[in-house]
Amino acid sequence: MENIDTPNPSYKKLNLLSKSGEFRIISLFERFKEYIVKHFDANEDNVICDWNKFGATFRYFSDNISLQIKVWEYSNDYLKLPDDIIIISEYETNNPIWEKEEKLELYNFLIVNCRRFGFCHIAFENLIDDAIKKEYRIEDTAIPCYRLYSVST
């Protein structure tokens, strides 16, 4: 029998995020995990949440796709990025059909759910992306960053 006083180890955090920030990240991770299981026929144990000093990183790796998303409550002005941001840092697939269709579906999922949980920005690390209109871009950030409240794909 599981001890209910012991936190789930996949949600172990390394710093003192706000309680609301922690809750928002956990809630978004649960949605992300459901999305991955449904869309990639994955085992939920293969969807990982690693906590860090800014928030968490969600990871999913399989034979067909490699996906890593950073979810930060605080950016500490790293790369001149705003707080309450998600960063798509890796998206690779060996299936050309998935490349465009799944990417757009993933972006739509992230935009809707990140807005729902109070994340206001999306950025792309090491990715050049044309799915989001350029007029939503935030100027002077080191990587492409967009406001979610005005984004549509």
Let me know if residue 2 belongs to a domain: no
Q: CA of 42: how far to CAs of 19, 45, 75, in Å? A: 30, 8, 30
Give backbone dihedrals phi and psi of 46, rounded to 5 degrees, phi first: -90, -5
Let me know if residue 3 belongs to a domain: no
Whether the CB-CB separation of 64 and 94 falls below 8 Å is answered with yes
What's this model's pTM, rounded to 2 decimal places?
Answer: 0.81
Let me know if residue 31 belongs to a domain: yes
Let me know if residue 81 belongs to a domain: yes
Return the pLDDT at 132: 61
Domain that residue 142 falls in:
9-150
Return the pLDDT at 130: 58
- E strands, the chain, where? 47-51, 55-61, 65-72, 85-93, 121-124, 145-147
Let me know if residue 93 belongs to a domain: yes
pLDDT tens digits for range 8-29: 444 444 456 888 999 999 999 9
Q: Count Cβ atoms within 10 A of the Cβ of residue 89 and give its class: 0-12 exposed, 13-18 middle, 19 or more buried.
A: middle
Give backbone dihedrals phi and psi of 132, rounded to 5 degrees, phi first: -110, 135
* Count of structural domains, the chain: 1
Mean pLDDT score, 81-101: 85
